[in-house]
Amino acid sequence: MSTNNVLVVAEHLDGQLKRISFECVTAAAEIAGSLGGQVQAMVLGTSLPAALAEQLGQAGAQTVFTADDGSLQDYAPERFAQVVADTVRRADPAVVLFGATARGRDLAPRVAAKLGVGLASDCTGFAVKDGRLVITRPMYAGKAIAQVALQSSPQMATVRPNIFPPAEVAPDRQEATIEPVAVGEIAAGAVVEEFQAKGGDRPELTEANIIVSGGRGMGGPENYVVIEALADALGAAVGASRAAVDAGWRPHSDQVGQTGKTVSPSLYVACGISGAIQHLAGMRTSKVIVAINKDADAPIFKVADYGIVGDLFDVVPALREAIRELND
pLDDT digits (tens, 9 = 90+) for 94-112: 999 999 998 999 999 999 9
Q: Which residues pair with 267 in a beta bridge?
A: 210, 288
Element (H, E) at 21: helix 19-35
Whole-number pLDDT of residue 202: 86
Residue 283: pLDDT above 90? yes
Query: Quick one: which of 304, 327, 319 has its CA closest to 229?
Result: 319
Query: Quick one: which of 242, 248, 306 has its CA closest to 274?
Result: 242
Whole-number pLDDT of residue 1: 43
Which of these ranges, 92-101, 178-187, 194-203, 315-324, has the smallest mean pLDDT?
194-203
Q: Phi and psi dihedrals of 162, rounded to 5? A: 65, 20
CB 195 within 8 A of CB 281: no
Q: How confident is the model at residue 188 (pLDDT cuts 50, 70, 90)?
A: low
Average pLDDT (175-180) is 93
Report the percentage of the chain scoring pLDDT > 90: 77
Mean pLDDT of the chain: 92
Could you read off the pLDDT of 18-47 as tens digits, one per residue? 999 999 999 999 999 999 999 999 999 999
User: Judging by beta carbons within 10 Å of its beta carbon (0-12, 13-18, 19+), is residue 326 exposed, middle or buried?
Assistant: exposed
Q: CA-CA distance, 203 to 254, in Å (whole number)? A: 12
Residue 82: pLDDT above 60? yes
Could you read off the pLDDT of 108-159 as tens digits, one per residue? 999 999 999 999 999 999 999 988 899 999 887 677 889 999 989 999 999 9
Q: Domains in the chain, start-ordered, CATH in brackets?
A: 6-180 (3.40.50.620), 205-327 (3.40.50.1220)
Phi/psi zone of residue 103: left (φ > 0), alpha (ψ -120 to 50 degrees), beta?
Answer: alpha
Whole-number pLDDT of residue 14: 86
Query: Quick one: which of 262, 265, 261 has its CA closest to 251?
Result: 261
Residue 2: pLDDT above 70? no
Whole-number pLDDT of residue 258: 87
Strands (E), the chain: 6-9, 12-13, 16-17, 39-45, 63-68, 95-99, 119-123, 125-129, 132-139, 144-149, 155-159, 177-180, 210-214, 237-240, 267-271, 288-293, 306-309
CB 94 within 8 A of CB 6: yes
Q: How confident is the model at residue 246 (pLDDT cuts 50, 70, 90)?
A: very high
Residue 192: pLDDT above 80? no
Which one-letter amino acid corresponds to residue 132?
R
Whole-number pLDDT of residue 142: 72
In the chain, the N- to C-terminal Cα span, in Å, equals 59
Q: How confident is the model at residue 3 (pLDDT cuts 50, 70, 90)?
A: confident
Whole-number pLDDT of residue 199: 59
Query: Quick one: which of 172, 231, 181 has its CA closest to 205?
Result: 231
User: Judging by DSSP bridges, how do beta strands 144-149 and 132-139 pair with one another?
Assistant: antiparallel
Q: CA-CA distance, 106 to 81, in Å (whole number)? A: 9
Q: CA-CA distance, 150 to 69, in Å (whole number)? A: 33
Average pLDDT (225-253) is 96
Q: CA-CA distance, 187 to 207, in Å (whole number)? A: 32
Which one-letter amino acid corresponds to residue 87?
T
Which one-letter amino acid corresponds to residue 103?
R
- Of 156 and 195, the structure prediction assigns the larger pLDDT to 156
Q: How confident is the model at residue 61 (pLDDT cuts 50, 70, 90)?
A: very high
Which one-letter amino acid corresponds to residue 204?
E
Whole-number pLDDT of residue 134: 94
Out of 19-23, 182-186, 204-208, the most confident range is 19-23
Question: What's the chain's Rg over C-alpha atoms?
Answer: 21
Residue 271: pLDDT above 70? yes
- Residue 327 three-state SS: helix
Report DSSP state, residue 70. Answer: G
CB 175 within 8 A of CB 61: no
